[in-house]
Amino acid sequence: MKARKLPLIYPTAGFAGLLFVLGAMWYAASSQNNTAVYLLLFALTAVFLVSIPHTLINLAGVTVTLESAQPTFVGQEVSLPLEVMNDSRATRHGIEVALPGSDGEHPRIDYIPARKAARVTLRFPARQRGEHNVGTLCLTSAYPLGFIRFLKKFASSRTYIVYPKPEGDVRLPSSFMHRREGNPLTEPGEGDDFAGLREYVHGESQRHIDWRAVARGQPLMTKQFAAEAEGVLYFDFFALRLVEVEEKLSQLTLWIIEAERARRPYGLRLPGNEIPPAIGQPHFHECLRTLSLFQVETPHTDPILSSVRRA
Amino acid sequence: MSTSMSKSGSMRDRSIPRRPLLWLAAALLFTLPPMFGSLVRWVPYVFLLALAMKFWMEPRGYRLRFATLKLILAAMGLFAIFASYGSLKGVEPGISLLVVLVSLKVLEAHTAREFQVMVLMGWVLCLCGFFLSQDFVIALSLLTAFALLLVALIQFYRGSSPGAFWPPLGTTGKILVQAAPLVVLLFVLFPRINTGLRVDFRANRLANPGFSDRLSPGSIAALANSSEIAFRAEFPGSTVTPPGSLYWRGAVMWNCDGLEWRAPYVPVSISSRGQSSSNNTIRQRITLAPHGARWMFALDRPSEIPPGAILARGDYLWSIQTIRKARRYEVVSSLGPARKELTPGERREALELPPSISPAVRELAQSWTTQNSNPRAIVNSALQFFRTGFRYSLTPGEYRKNDLEQFLFHRRVGFCEHYAASFATLMRLAGVPARVVVGYLGGEYNDLGHFFLVRQADTHAWCEVWLPDSGWTRVDPTTAVAPGRASLDLHSFLERGIASGQMEARRSGFLTQLARSRLFTNARLALETLSYEWDTRVLAFDADVQEVLLDSMGLANRGTFVLIIEILIVAIALLVTYFGWMQLRTRSRADRVKTSYERFCRKAARLGARRDPWEGPSDFSRRAALLLPDQSERIRQISDIYIALRYAAEPASVAVALDGFAKEVRAFGRYR
């Protein structure tokens, strides 16, 4: 990514302390005409001033690259994997990555040797469904003295997607669900006979994860049960007897996860959009993506993020 | 490349890592020396204890958590300081309080953010140290603390970067070296605005070393162990040291009270007439340590007065203002005898005696007068009297001011003040006008710095008697008792005394050996030279000296504001230079390769072969070679080098290849 402008400079909390100490030294020196204190005052001032170009240079040649982010659900954490590259011929120290407007952790990279890269993950809570622009990424550094911080902005066109929060009735509707009337006839959804393992689907319930396999170092697997694999499901937006759109989307999301977990083909019908029944990861993600983008202008932009970019 | 997480930019979650803490502790240890000796003894020990506790507590996760406990400890500290000083006002109680609070903070601090606060507090402790003392050794220690605090801070921000010792030291060194010109610039040119908020709280502390206007028995002996520096003297313009003993004249005492003598509270000023021939004068440059009084010193006897001083009756210097900071002045002394008339008033004053003189003492003086009424003969008989049976000692025991008889006939042990006082009193009894002079005798010559170092231990008292043929004449009765004292400084004299077994052994043999060893002497002389330079070149550069300097540079009438702006401009220029230099040193070579290649692409586009953004360099070179057949060889070469530089693992000679590449790109498209 290309840096937007010259790095911005702003004082840290320690700067106030430094100003106070310098003020105290100045007062002491001038009221007592104490030459040694003057020397101390000027030494501290000079050291602070000299640290400014050091901090600035600490960001020179450092760039950040975003990698594609995994989709996530509202209420979970967005993790943006990114690579901070040091193209310079010197080691860079104490670089923090921040995403303005997100209140997550700021990963701090203690050091990157010359021409090496560090991988970090930016994590913050997903608040709203939809496709979000990452917008501006910031690299900041206060090294070596920490009294001022330089901030370099990187514009990114990368987006990440947040699926609606899976919520509602866990029981899958019957395959006749597309009929408008009647209670959703449910079926157990889970049998008692163990039928094998399959890969864990992101977002689904963790109840059936084979934790013993995880403990052995294997990837996340879900136990499948015999009764699951039967019937085609059709999830209909109009058939839901819920009031709020978001509630409906949450219910549909939950069902999609459950259906995928149960390995039963499922279709989705939304106002103006219909996805024929199928099964598998691409279908799963297509459905969830359709749900997350439902009735929002794409790509969705956080008001906070856009304000930062205007600034 | 280790990474760590921190919450919302702050470092609240992290506790202080061990390495920066060690550096911080080392730095804080260096702020201790000025505290010892000037604060109440327990204060620095409390500080040391807190540091030690911190190292015990930190790995165990203990810290001072409870607000009530903190308050109780702070209140205890406050009470203890009040109990020790009797008041909370003044500089020492204030600094003591600060040290106690810093100790508590050290015990309490736990999170990373507080680390910066502790470093800032360390700098405040440096400031306090300079308030207590500006001695060279102290300054060295405090400046070391200053630098170590910097190291601690840098080590802290380096986080888990490799290297606990040299890398942070190296960075600190780099910053300090780069800061040095700026420090000099600010120190020399930055206006020292006087706020006029002067608080006089140092008088009571500085008045104790050195002598007072009263010469009482034991007052000089009390100084004999003080190695504190009184002043340093250079002899500009002459390479040889003046002949004879160096008697540094400080004050003249007229008022006699037996064994006690006193100088006038406010001396009477006299004008310095050309008293002596100009060929026997010596110019001295004296750097006076602040002593909180008005004494100024010069070789016996000053004839040209430095500015800011008067010549008092009795030919000694008297500063117009109290000397609270190191002061440097030049003075000319005439070594020849002073031809001066004694006015009747002065004569009366120089013969005045207290009523409480015992008959035995009167009888002694009378016996000399009846022997020979010539004043010179009286002086000689008195010296003869002192030569037999008297002992010179640092610990003569206690005398009161009326113990003249006791001293002269019974105990007969004394230090210079006893001899000077009793001798002058006896002279007055015998009808010879006499007065006591207090000052310093000798001093240690520093070969490296070519100056004399005079310590408080060199304080001395001697007499002057009025002889009709030579005027006021110096008589040092101490030399009659302890011949050789006058030609040596006190320390050398005492050392010699130990060797001959005549004086009380005051030091252990080992220390004496150590003090006499060549290495130690050289080191001491070097330290004293540096100390002298620190005092004369750094400390003496105060607002007044700065004004003179600015005046000579033609900057004085610029106005403070303009000067500050100018300094700022120079400072910014310096910082930009540093930045450019660092940029040049660390900029990646890959950038140069890329710039050159982009230039090549631009040139090729002008010639008609535009590179598509998705086109790889080798694809492009093939296509461009077809489009531009007359440049095909060069295009292929440029592309090959570019690929090699960009994608191959570090080639053996990057620089050579890079230069060749740049040359090729320059040459490209030239002949067509």
Domain boundaries along the sequence of chain A? 1-162, 164-311
Q: Say if A256 is an interface residue toward chain B (CB within 8 Å).
A: no
Instruction: Name the residue in chain A with its Cα closest to that of B135.
Output: A36
Query: What rounded mean pLDDT belongs to chain B?
Result: 80
User: B485: Cβ–Cβ under 8 A, 6 or more apart, which residues?
Assistant: B392, B416, B441, B478, B479, B493
- Is this complex scored with an ipTM above 0.90? no
C-alpha–C-alpha distance, residues B207 and B245, integer Å: 28
Q: Which residues of B touch A57 (CB under 8 A)?
A: 579, 582-583, 586
Nearest beta carbon to residue B183 from set A32, A42, A61: A42
Q: Do B198 and A32 touch (CB under 8 A)?
A: yes
Cα–Cα distance, A251 to A240 (Å, whole number): 9
Which of B158, B177, B204 delimits the end of a domain?
Answer: B158
SS3 B249: strand
User: Is the CB of A96 inside 8 Å of chain B's CB atoms?
Assistant: yes
Task: State the smallest CA–CA distance between residue B443 and chain A in angstroms.
Answer: 27
Alpha-carbon distances of B297 from A192, B132, B249, B307, B475, rounded to whole Å: 108, 25, 6, 14, 19
% residues pLDDT > 90 (chain B):
9
Please report residues of A whose CB lies closer than 8 A to that of B3: 107-110, 118, 120
Is it the case that residue B408 has pLDDT exceeding 70? Answer: yes
Among chain B residues, CA nearest to A147: B116
Looking at beta carbons, which residues of chain A come within 8 Å of B180? Answer: 46
> Distance, in angstroms, between B1 CA and closest chain A CA?
5
How many contiguous H segments (helices) and E segments (strands) does chain B have?
Answer: 23, 20
Residue B370 lies in a domain: no
**At B454, is the pLDDT very low, low, confident or very high (cuts 50, 70, 90)?**
confident
Tell me which residue of A138, A134, A142 sits closest to A154, measured CA to CA.
A138
* pLDDT: which is higher, B170 or A222: B170
- Spatial distance between the Cα atoms of A184 and A169, rounded to a whole number of angstroms: 10
Number of independent structural domains in chain B: 2
* B528 assigned to some structural domain: no
Sheet holding B316-319, edge to edge: B269-270, B309-312, B316-319
pLDDT band (50, 70, 90) for residue B223: confident
pLDDT of B149 > 90? The answer is: yes
**Interface contacts A/B by beta carbons within 8 Å:** 218
- Residue B119: the pLDDT is 93
- Is residue B278 very low, low, confident or very high in pLDDT (cuts 50, 70, 90)? low
B347 domain-assigned: no
Find the closest chain B residue to A113 by CA distance: B1
* A127 close contact with B: CB closer than 8 A: no
**Could you say which of B158, B192, B225 is where a domain stops?**
B158
Nearest-neighbour CA in chain B from A36: distance (Å): 6
The token pair at A99 is: 């995403």
- Which two tokens mark B625? 């070679």
Of B104, B124, B158, the residue at which a domain comes to its end is: B158
- A2 interfacial to chain B (CB closer than 8 Å): no
User: In this structure, is residue B399 part of a structural domain?
Assistant: no
Q: Do B8 and A103 touch (CB under 8 A)?
A: yes
Instruction: For residues B84-105, give the mean pLDDT.
Output: 85
Regions in chain A scoring below 70 on pLDDT: 1-5, 104, 174-198, 203-205, 223-231, 297-311
Segments forming the whole domain that contains residue B651: 589-667
Q: Does residue A44 belong to the interface with chain B, where contact is any CB pair within 8 Å?
A: yes
Q: Is residue B338 part of a domain?
A: no
Cβ of residue A83 closer than 8 Å to a chain B Cβ: no
- Residue-wise pLDDT for B511-530, tens only, equals 666 666 778 888 888 888 88
Q: Which two tokens stand for residue B95?
A: 């600094």
Q: Chain A residues with CB inside 8 Å of B547's CB?
A: none
Which of A57, A89, A93 faces B588 most closely, judged by CB atoms? A89
Fold classified for A1-162: Immunoglobulin-like (2.60.40)
Q: Do A47 and B176 count as a contact with CB atoms less than 8 A apart?
A: yes
Q: Which of A222-236, B10-24, B402-416 is the most confident on average?
A: B402-416
B1 to chain A: which residues are within 8 Å by CB? 109-113, 116-119
Predicted local confidence at residue B16, as pLDDT: 77
Nearest by Cα to A249 from A300, A289, A302, A202: A289
Q: What is the pLDDT of residues B369-380, one digit of tens each?
A: 888 888 888 888
User: Is B186 within 8 Å of A45 when comparing Cβ atoms?
Assistant: yes
pLDDT of residue B613: 66
Which of B124, B142, B197 lies closest to A31 in CB terms?
B197
